[in-house]
């Protein structure tokens, strides 16, 4: 009897079920059933990694870069299919950005002090095995970017990814290990469990072999990590306001804000979540957004329907709406719009639930304020003290300076779309872990190191 493809698939699934291994994890490097096993494997791998030369570490990073470019579309599609969030085109760009702009070993530098009493070096050493918790909004992007920085710094990493994005996260973990093996490094430089839960996360956060935990996600996980008794790096939630004053180039501001807000359907934590506009230019801004930037003006009745659809009575987000396009969100309230509609706009008070809450959807409420001073106060209120990201469109150096000081955020983009802060059309590095709560800001390899002082008394000063 000829063996068909479906018969082979059936047999493979039966074998996997008997072995209790999920299809996503089968044959993948770095995937374990149990969190303790994953940590033990990462610990063994770290013994090897810490003895690799910087050149060898860099070789691993460069192969991760190549493989990320090669698999960008696959991971983008997997992410959208598995989570239902975001869009494939923008996710492809995000992966290329990770491959090109996440720093490697060049980020690890040494401070030196030399003088009459000798030479002192302050070097950046690895922590060991780092525990990392990753979100479903940028799943493979975060696994790749964390792995690159952590391995460049001489660590290995164990992930507890978001359960809703486990297949995509496992794909990225496997890619990292394949890169290490191809470079002559060890397997299991990145590890994970095939079925992450709050329990596996708890084991990881309290394990004796995990000296540092890095959490990328909402307020719940960051608080959990910071209460773990371990050193924690907390990359938490934001609700970035974009302020537009009377000195701005209004047409460009409309374009930049809508481009930033709609990137990957508003999933990035840095993306514009609401607009604060000075009254004298508010109508002009709204006109440009509607007539030139594909925005749909929602009526009061449609706003109410959106509130009832995107959140429940307690104000919790409906996960089925997070990262959906404007067209899909509007279809959920019975409004059919052409494909070129990419954002929903309306004017409302700052307390409006679609404005005050971090939605992660292309819905932009516009709060009208009488002048810059009122706009500043409104933006501070809307950012909720997250100290994460804020954006401003203004030609006044005085306004920009006051705004930067008052908002006190890890990221502030002036006169550009929010994604410029990730190095996309802006200068500098890329990361998908922005440590807003704990103050490290944009994380990179050096964030995942500890300082070590090495002193030679009375020698090696050759001045």
Cα(223)–Cα(236) distance, rounded to whole angstroms? 9
Q: Which stretch binds ligand NAD (CB under 6 A): 37-45, 89-97, 428-436, 455-463?
A: 428-436
Q: Which of 46, 156, 168, 201 binds ligand NAD (CB under 6 A)?
A: 201
Give the helix ranges, DSSP H, for 341-454: 353-356, 372-383, 397-407
Tokens of 436: 């807003």
| Nearer residue to ligand NAD within complex by CB, 220 or 425 | 220
At residue 136, what are phi and psi to the nearest 5 degrees? -90, -5
Q: Does 134 engage in binding with ligand NAD (CB under 6 A)? A: yes
CB of 311 to ligand NAD, least distance (A): 14
Contacts of 19 (CB under 8 A, 6+ apart): none
Write each residue from 232 to 261 as x if it is in contact with ligand NAD (CB under 6 A), else as -, in one continuous string: ---xxxx-----------------------
* Number of neighbouring beta carbons within 10 Å of residue 322: 21
CA angle 270, 271, 273 (to 5 degrees): 115
| Nearer residue to ligand NAD within complex by CB, 190 or 298 | 190
CB of 236 to ligand NAD, least distance (A): 5
User: E strands of 107-154, at which residues?
Assistant: 111-115, 118-126, 129-134
Tokens of 132: 């990392």
The site that binds ligand NAD (CB under 6 A) totals a number of residues, namely 27
| Nearer residue to ligand NAD within complex by CB, 218 or 353 | 218
**Per-residue burial over 6-30, b = 16 or more CB atoms within 10 Å of its CB, e = otherwise:** eeeeeeeeeeeeeeebbebbeebbb
Q: Which of 108, 145, 151, 221 binds ligand NAD (CB under 6 A)?
A: 221
Q: Which of 118, 125, 211, 218 binds ligand NAD (CB under 6 A)?
A: 218
CB of 122 to ligand NAD, least distance (A): 27
Contacts of 415 (CB under 8 A, 6+ apart): 248, 249, 252, 253, 256, 392, 393, 394, 395
Footprint on residues 16-35 left by ligand NAD (CB under 6 A): none
Give the helix ranges, DSSP H, for 209-265: 219-226, 250-262
H or E stretch covering 54: helix 54-70
Q: Which of 105, 137, 155, 156 binds ligand NAD (CB under 6 A)?
A: 137
CB of 292 to ligand NAD, least distance (A): 29
| Nearer residue to ligand NAD within complex by CB, 275 or 360 | 360
Cα(110)–Cα(164) distance, rounded to whole angstroms? 40
Residue closest to ligand NAD, measured at CB = 217
Cα(203)–Cα(186) distance, rounded to whole angstroms? 24
Footprint on residues 156-175 left by ligand NAD (CB under 6 A): 161-163
Footprint on residues 276-305 left by ligand NAD (CB under 6 A): none
- CA proximity to 133, closest of 76, 73, 187, 205: 205
Q: Does 198 engage in binding with ligand NAD (CB under 6 A)? A: yes
Q: Does 91 engage in binding with ligand NAD (CB under 6 A)? A: no
CB of 328 to ligand NAD, least distance (A): 18
Write each residue from 336 to 365 as x if it is in contact with ligand NAD (CB under 6 A), else as -, in one continuous string: ----------------------x-------
Q: Does 79 engage in binding with ligand NAD (CB under 6 A)? A: no
Q: Which of 138, 147, 265, 303 binds ligand NAD (CB under 6 A)?
A: 138
| Nearer residue to ligand NAD within complex by CB, 86 or 294 | 86
Q: Does 216 engage in binding with ligand NAD (CB under 6 A)? A: yes
Cα(365)–Cα(353) distance, rounded to whole angstroms? 10
Residues in contact with ligand NAD by the rule CB under 6 A: 133-138, 161-163, 198, 201, 216-218, 220-221, 224, 235-238, 269, 358, 432-434, 436
């Amino acid at each position: 009897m000829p063996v068909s493809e479906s018969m082979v698939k059936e047999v493979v699934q039966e074998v996997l079920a008997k072995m209790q291994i999920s299809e996503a994890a089968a044959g993948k490097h770095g995937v374990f059933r149990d969190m303790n096993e994953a940590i033990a494997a990462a610990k063994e791998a770290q013994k090897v990694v810490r003895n690799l030369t910087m050149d060898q570490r860099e070789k691993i990073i460069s192969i991760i870069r190549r493989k990320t470019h090669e698999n960008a579309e696959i991971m983008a599609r997997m992410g959208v299919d598995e989570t239902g969030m975001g869009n494939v085109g923008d996710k492809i760009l995000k992966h290329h950005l990770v491959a090109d702009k996440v720093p490697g070993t060049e980020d690890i530098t040494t401070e030196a002090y030399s003088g009459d009493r000798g030479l002192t070096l302050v070097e950046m050493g690895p922590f060991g095995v780092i525990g990392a918790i990753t979100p479903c909004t940028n799943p493979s992007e975060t696994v790749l970017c964390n792995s690159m920085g952590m391995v460049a710094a001489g660590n290995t990493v164990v992930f507890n990814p978001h359960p809703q994005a486990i297949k995509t996260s496992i794909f990225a973990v496997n890619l990292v290990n394949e890169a290490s093996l191809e470079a002559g490094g060890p397997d299991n430089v990145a590890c994970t469990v095939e079925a992450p839960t709050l329990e596996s996360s708890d084991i990881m956060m309290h394990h004796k072999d995990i000296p540092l935990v890095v959490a990328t996600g909402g307020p719940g996980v960051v608080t959990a990590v910071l209460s773990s008794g371990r050193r924690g790096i907390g990359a938490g939630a934001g609700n970035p306001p974009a302020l537009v004053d009377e000195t701005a180039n209004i047409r460009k501001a409309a374009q930049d804000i809508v481009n930033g807000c709609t990137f990957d359907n508003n999933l990035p934590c840095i993306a514009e979540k609401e607009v604060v506009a000075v009254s004298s230019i508010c109508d002009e801004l709204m006109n440009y957004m509607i007539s030139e930037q594909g925005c749909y003006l929602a009526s009061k009745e449609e706003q109410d329907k959106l509130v009832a659809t995107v959140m429940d009575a307690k104000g919790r987000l409906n996960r089925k709406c997070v990262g959906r396009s404007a067209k899909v969100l509007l279809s959920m309230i019975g409004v059919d719009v052409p494909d070129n509609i990419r954002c929903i706009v309306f004017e409302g008070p700052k307390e409006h639930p679609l404005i005050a809450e971090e939605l992660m959807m292309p819905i932009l409420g516009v709060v009208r304020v009488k002048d810059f001073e009122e706009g500043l106060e409104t933006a501070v209120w809307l950012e909720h003290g997250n100290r994460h990201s804020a954006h401003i469109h203004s030609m006044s150096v005085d306004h920009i300076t006051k705004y930067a000081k008052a908002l006190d955020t890890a990221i502030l983009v002036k006169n550009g779309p929010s994604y410029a802060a990730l190095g996309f059309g802006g200068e500098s590095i890329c990361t998908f872990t922005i440590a807003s709560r704990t103050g490290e800001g944009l994380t990179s390899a050096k964030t995942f190191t500890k300082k070590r002082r090495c002193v030679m008394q009375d020698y090696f000063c050759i001045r």
